[in-house]
Amino acid sequence: MTKKYDICIIGGGIQGVGVAQAAAAAGYNVLLLEKIGLACATSSRSSKLIHGGLRYLESGQFSLVAESIYERELLIKNAPELVKRVPFYIPIYKHTSRRSWQVFAGLSLYAILGRLKAEACFRKVPQSKWHQLDGLNENELQAVYQYSDAQTDDVQLTRAVMYSACQLGAELICPAQFELATYQNHQYHVRYSEDGIDTEIVCRVLINATGPWHNEVQKKISPNITVPDIELVQGAHIIINQTPPRGVYYVESPSDRRAVFVMPWYQQTMIGTTETHYEGNPAEINPTEHELDYLQNIADHYFPSYDNNIIDSIAGVRVLPKSNKSMFNRARDTLYISDEMLPGYLGLMGGKLTGYRHTAEKTMHKVKTHLGESKNKMNTRSIHLTPAPNDF
């Protein structure tokens, strides 16, 4: 007998598991299909930061920043074992393009969007304390600002969200290869393969949360719909064999003025990220030699005493809408793809790690007309997250 679900989600990254949690918390019967493993692709290759997105103020994305600050505080409260508040430092040098008054103004607006709470405050680090800043280059250093955001292990956070979804009744099948889906008689007939055995289920709502694979997966869904033109942007990080700094340093690349983070990552130091146009299979992405040199040079420039021997590197892809704007200035909001040809279908691309819960909340609002009322179990704003057990 064919099993029936209210919602089927394809993709086990942070956005997919977030929707699974929200759907289960709302009382719906939900299945998530993941091809390889939770957070095995983009969601494991982020900057590991839970942050408001200070730099997005420059491109006028004020609502995204306010939303991200709110979500950051929720995660710090609801997932204290997984999300930790950390100090962030912005050094201003003679050569820095963003002058001290501009950084002061940006941090003031950031604090206002954070509702001027204590955790939103910032300060100027006295010159007498600069020697305590993890070996930061003091040559031509003019000022250092300190504020706070947060950091996480993106894989562990994704696993924790899916674990909480399962505790609320969601089902996870992993590994499972999505084969095809057909919309007929007001429902989706979904076929997937598990251990070489094909299985078919039906559902009322189908969520394609495969991120950079969205358009490829959409080709397996009938009827076909028009999908937006997108651009894949590669972001690389390096991990160097260096005792981690006590905070995150938000620095400016001396070569192209891009914002880059130097941050603690377990017992080492991580530096990233880059923005490089990418064409090809997202599963085969790797940092380029240029990116490795670029990030290594930043470490040399700001922390000349560091042992910048690269012990690991990672690369992931962001999905951005096609545009003539620079990659830096394009919106980082989640892209929602729907079409009248596929009632109850929603595709998700892009978005931020920090805002996964809000994205899931909006997703459920968009598909609720196809689901009808249910017995709400819990509001995702109040779900406490703990690390998933090792055998999950």
Close Cβ partners of 58 (under 8 Å, ≥ 6 residues apart): 106, 329
Q: Do domains 3-42+155-228+332-371 and 230-321 have the same CATH topology?
A: no
353: tokens are 């790690």
Of the listed ranges 97-101, 226-230, 297-301, the least confidently predicted one is 226-230
Q: What per-residue confidence (pLDDT) applies to 328?
A: 56
Confidence at residue 355, expressed as pLDDT on a 0 to 100 scale: 95
> DSSP secondary structure string, 319-334?
EEE--SS-GGGS--SP
CB of 337 closer than 8 Å to CB of 227: yes
What is the pTM assigned to this prediction? 0.95
* Amino acid identity, position 41: A
Q: Residues in the chain, how many?
A: 392
Would the pLDDT of 54 be above 70? yes
CA–CA gap between residue 335 and residue 351 (Å, rounded): 7
Least confident of 185-189, 298-302, 332-336: 332-336
Give me the CATH code for the 3-42+155-228+332-371 domain, please: 3.50.50.60
CB count within 10 Å of CB 169 equals 14
Task: For 83-138, write each residue's pLDDT tens digit.
Answer: 999 999 999 999 999 999 999 999 999 999 999 998 899 999 999 999 999 999 99
Q: Are 238 and 287 in contact (CB under 8 A)?
A: yes
Domain boundaries, the chain: 3-42+155-228+332-371, 55-150, 230-321
Question: pLDDT band for position 373 (50/70/90)?
Answer: confident
Torsion angle of alpha carbons 58, 60, 62, 67, nearest 10°? -80
Superfamily of structural domain 230-321: D-Amino Acid Oxidase, subunit A, domain 2 (3.30.9.10)
For residue 330, pLDDT beyond 60: no
Q: Which of 238-247, 309-318, 373-382 has the lowest mean pLDDT?
A: 373-382
Host H or E run for residue 189: strand 187-194
